[in-house]
Amino acid sequence: MKRIATGVVALALMATAASADIKIGAIVSETGPASSLGDPEAKTIRMMVEALNAKGGIKGEKAKLVLYDDGGDPSKAKTFATRLVEDDGVVAMVGGTTTGTSLAILAVAEDSKVPFISLAGAIEIIDPVKPYVFKTPHTDRMACLKIFADMKSRGLTRIGLISGTDGFGASMRAQCLAVAKSSGIEIVADETYGPKDADITPQLTNIRNRPGIQAVLNSGFGQGPATITRNYAQLGIALPLYQSHGVASNAFIELSGAKNAEGVRLPGTALLVGELLDPKDPQKPVVLAYKANFEKAAGGAPVSTFGGYAHDAMLILAEAMAKAPSAKPAAIRDAIEATTGLVGTTGAYTYSKTDHLGLDLSAFRMLEISNGGWKLVP
Amino acid sequence: MRLSSKQSTLLVLAALMIVSPFFFPSNYYYRIGSLVFVNSIAVVGIVILTGYAGQISLGHAGFLGIGGYACALLPIHLGVPPALAAVLGAVLSGIIAYGVGRPILRLKGYYLAVASLGFGVLVAMVLANEGWLTGGPDGVKVPDPGLRAALEWLGIPLANPQLWYAFSGLVLFVGAWLALNLRDSPTGRALRALHGSEVAARTAGVDIARAKLNAFVISAVYASVAGSLLALQNRLITPDVAGFMHSIELVTMAVLGGAGSVLGGIFGAALLTLLPQVLTVLQDYEHVVLGLVMMLVMIFLPAGLIPSARRLLRGRGE
C-alpha cells in the first residue's frame, strides 16, 4: 500500500515539475495560528513572482514559484524544506513565518547549501551568522532599543513591562530585559498575559500601583495589545503607553478604538506611513508602489508589515538572481551577501559577511496614533 | 508451513520498509518515510490503549512532548548524552503516566477522554510558558546524538533523512513486535477482556484497575519514544508537538487504520502522513479531502481500514 502511495506522490510531483524554469521555493504559515502573518506573505510572494515574470523573468528565463503552507508547524516546515531542496530542486528559499519554522528550515538550507531568506524576527536566526541564511525583518532587540531610545528622550526611565506568553511576546520580553540596563531603563514591573485573554486589568492595575512608574511597554502581538489599550483607557492610566512593532497596522487602531489608542507610540516600518514620508525619502516610492500593488492583488486587503518583509525578501532575491553569474544556489548566495543599499519597505538592506540582517535602527520609525491615524514622531 | 497472523504482519512490515527505498527518487522520501515511522510508533501505543484495552486518551501528544523535550533539556541543563536522555524521557513518561493514570483511569468514556485531554493541554502549557526551562513557544534546539558521525566512522556515510529512516524503522519494527507479542500474552488477553466487558473481565479474575494502568503506561512509553525520535531528527522541538491537535491527529490515525490492529494503526499513520503531502497539489481542498476520506471510512469501514479489509477478504475466501 505504501508503495502505491509513494507512487501517487511521485506522479503528483512530476505533474508540477515538468518544466525547466528557475524554481524559487517558499514555505509560509498561510493557515494556522500565525496565518495573520503568513497570509499577506503568501499573497505578496505570489504577486512578486508574477510581476517578475511579467517583466521578462530572470535574464530571460521564467521564475517558477513552489509555495507550501506549513500551518505554523516546524516539523512540517522541515519536511517541506527537504521537499523543496531534494525533490523540487529550487535554487533559493523564502519564508519561515515564525521563528520556530525558520529555525527548522534553516537547518535544511545549511545542510544542503541552498540560500534561505527568513521572514521571522528572532535574532538566533542570523546570530551567529550562517553562510546560507539571511533575514529581512528587524530583530526584537532593535524594537526594544528604538522604544527605549524614545523613552529616554522623553525622560522616562522607570517603566513597567507587560508581555504576551506567545512566541512573539516571550521573545521580545527576553530581548527588552537584556538591553534595558544598557539603555538606561529600569524595569520596575514585569507582568504577562495569555494571548487570548479578554481582560487584562488585574495586571495593569498591578503595574500602575508600582511607585515611581513612568511608562508602560507591551511586548505582544495579536488581540492582546488591543485589549490592553482598551483596559488602559478604562482604568484611566495617564502614563505613556508603548506597543510593539507586531501591532503596527490599522486593524490595531480599529480593535482598540481610536479614542483609547490616542497617544500610543510604537516602532513601525515606513510601509504604514507611506503618504506621510518626506518626498525625498528613498523609501517613499517603494512603499507606495508595494501598497498599491498589494491592495490591487489582494482585493482591497490592507498592507501589513509582514507582507512587507516578504516583499523585501523577494526584492533582494530577484536582484541577487539578476546579478549572479549563474542560477546555482552558491552563486545566488554570494550575490545576496553582496546586496548593498537596496531599498525595501522595511529599510535599506546592506548585507556583508558578518551581517545577514542588513538593517540598522534608522529603518524603524517611531509612530504615534493620533485622531485614529498615524503620526511620525520626529 | 502456515504463518501466524503475527509473523505475517511483521513480515509485511519488514518487506515494506526494505523494499520502499528502491522506489525513492530523492532524500525527501526518506524524510516522509521516517515521519511515517515516528507517527506509527506513537499510534501503536494508542492501538494498545484504545484498540486492546478500549480506553481513550486525547492527551497522548503530552507524552510525545515529554519524550521530545527530554532529549533537548536533559543534555542542555544536566549534560546527559542525548541518546541516554531519550531513554530517561521514556522512563519519566512511564512514571508520569503511572501517576496521572491512577486517578484518571477510574473515569470512563467521555470523562476519561476529557481528563486525558486536560493532561495533554497542561503539558503543552507548561512547555510554552516556562521559558526559562523550555525555551518558550519558539522551542529549543536539540543536540546532535552523534549517530551519523558514528556511522560515518564505521564507513557507512548516510544522509540525515536516510539515517532516520533506517533508525525509526528499526524502532518501529521492535515496537510492533512487542505490541503483537503483548496481544497474545496474559496481560494482552486481560486488556482485551476488559475491552469486551469490564464486569465479565472482573468476574473472570482480571484486576481491571491494574490492567488499564498497564496499558496506559505502555502506550505513554511508546509516545515518548516517538517524541524523542522526532526531536532528535528535527534537531528542534516546539510546544506544538504536545498540542491538542496533535493528540487528535494520533487518535485519528489509529481509528482510521483500525484501532484494534497494529498493522491498521501503522497504515492509518502512513495514510495521514502521506495524504497532506500529496494534497499540496490541491492546497485549498486539502482539509475537504481529508474530511471526506475520514467520513467515508467511518461510514463504510467502521472497524478501520485494515480490519475491515481483512474481514472482506476472509469473507470471500470462505
Contacts of residue B35 in chain A, CB cutoff 8 Å?
Answer: 75, 79
Q: pLDDT averaged over chain A? A: 89
Confidence of residue A18 (pLDDT cuts 50, 70, 90): very low
Residue A69: list chain B partners with CB under 8 A.
280, 283
Say whether residue A8 is in contact with chain B using an 8 A CB cutoff.
yes
Q: How does residue A16 score in pLDDT terms, banded at 50, 70 and 90?
A: very low
SS3 content of chain B, % helix, strand, coil (to 5): 80, 0, 15
DSSP reduced 3-state for B31: helix
The complex's ipTM works out to 0.84
First and final CA of chain A: distance in angstroms?
66
Spatial separation of the C-alpha atoms in residues B95 and B80, rounded to whole Å = 19
User: Counting one residue from A and one from B, how many pairs have CB atoms under 8 Å apart?
Assistant: 108
CA–CA separation, A283 vs A110, rounded Å? 32
DSSP-derived letter for residue A81 is: H
Å between A14 CA and nearest CA of chain B: 11
Share of chain A above pLDDT 70, in %: 95
Share of chain A above pLDDT 90, in %: 64
- Note the pLDDT of residue A10: 53
Domains of chain B by residue range: 27-243
Indicate the residue of A16, A69, A103 with minimum beta-carbon distance to B281: A16
pLDDT at B316: 57
Whether chain B has a CB inside 8 Å of the CB on A1: the answer is yes
Q: What whole-number distance in Å separates Cα of residue A33 and Cα of residue A25?
A: 22
Q: Which residue of B has its CA nearest to A75?
A: B234
Whose CA is closest to B175, among B45, B53, B272?
B45
Give contacts of A 116-135 with B, CB under 8 A.
122
Contact A213, A159 (CB under 8 A): yes
Write the residue in A9, A98, A165 that is nearest to B277 by C-beta. A9
Flag if A16 and B137 touch (Cβ within 8 Å). Answer: no
Contact state of B141 with A103 under an 8 Å Cβ cutoff: yes
Which pLDDT band, with edges at 50, 70 and 90, does A194 fall under?
confident
Average pLDDT rounded to a whole number, residues A260-285 = 89
Helix (H/G/I), strand (E/B), else coil: B254: helix
Å between B208 CA and nearest CA of chain A: 37
Kindly state the average pLDDT of the residues A297-317: 89
Q: Is the pLDDT of residue B233 over 60?
A: yes
Give residues 247 to 306 of A whose Cβ lies within 8 Å of B: none
Q: Where in chain A is the domain with CATH 3.40.50.2300?
A: 2-138+288-362, 140-268
Q: Centre a 10 Å sphere on the Cβ of residue B91 and count the other Cβ atoms it contains.
A: 12
Give the pLDDT of residue A9. 52
Interface of B with A (CB under 8 A): 16, 19-20, 23-29, 31-32, 35-36, 128-129, 131, 136-139, 141, 160-161, 230, 234-236, 238, 240-241, 267, 270-271, 274, 276-278, 280-281, 283
Q: What is the pLDDT of residue B315?
A: 67
pLDDT score recorded for residue A19: 47
Superfamily assignment of A2-138+288-362 in CATH? Response regulator (3.40.50.2300)
Task: Using a pLDDT cut of 90, give the percent of chain B over it.
Answer: 52
Binned at pLDDT 50, 70 and 90, residue B310 comes out as confident
Inform me whether the pLDDT recorded for A344 exceeds 60. Answer: yes
pLDDT tens digit sequence for B2-36? 778 888 889 999 999 999 999 898 889 999 999 99
pLDDT number for residue B6? 86
User: In the Cβ-directed half-sphere of A153, how many Cα atoms lie within 13 Å?
Assistant: 9
Average pLDDT rounded to a whole number, residues B168-184: 94
Instruction: Please write the tens of the pLDDT for every residue from B104-119.
Output: 888 887 888 899 999 9
A330 at the B interface (CB within 8 A)? no
Nearest-CB residue to B274 (from A5, A15, A73) = A5
pLDDT at A286: 93
Residue A159 has pLDDT above 50, yes or no: yes
pLDDT at A41 over 90: yes
Interface test with B, best of A65, A69, A101, A103 (most B CBs within 10 A): A103
Residues A72-112 have pLDDT tens digits of 889 999 999 999 999 999 999 999 998 889 999 999 999 89
Give the CATH H-level superfamily of domain A140-268: Response regulator (3.40.50.2300)
- Give the C-alpha separation, B150 to B155, whole Å: 9
How close B316 comes to chain A (CA, Å)? 20
Chain A residues with CB-CB distance to B32 below 8 A? 9, 79
Alpha-carbon distance A221 to nearest alpha carbon in chain B (angstroms) = 13
Contacts of A77 in chain B (CB under 8 A): none
The pLDDT value recorded for residue A162 is 95
Q: Which residue of B has its CA nearest to A98?
A: B138
SS3 content of chain A, % helix, strand, coil (to 5): 50, 20, 35
Q: What is the mean pLDDT of residues A244-248?
A: 85
Highest mean pLDDT among A6-10, A160-164, B125-129: A160-164
Contact criterion met (CB < 8 Å) for A2 and B270: yes
Task: Using pLDDT thresholds of 50, 70 and 90, give the confidence band for residue A20.
Answer: low
**Looking at the predicted structure, is the pLDDT value of residue B160 above 50?**
yes
User: Across residues A160-181, what is the average pLDDT?
Assistant: 89
Residue A196 phi, psi dihedral angles, 5° rounding: -110, 10
Q: To the nearest 10°, the Cα dihedral for B77, B80, B81, B87?
A: -110
Nearest to A82 among B16, B28, B267 (CB): B28
A147 versus A3: the higher-pLDDT residue is A147
Residue B180 pLDDT exceeds 50: yes
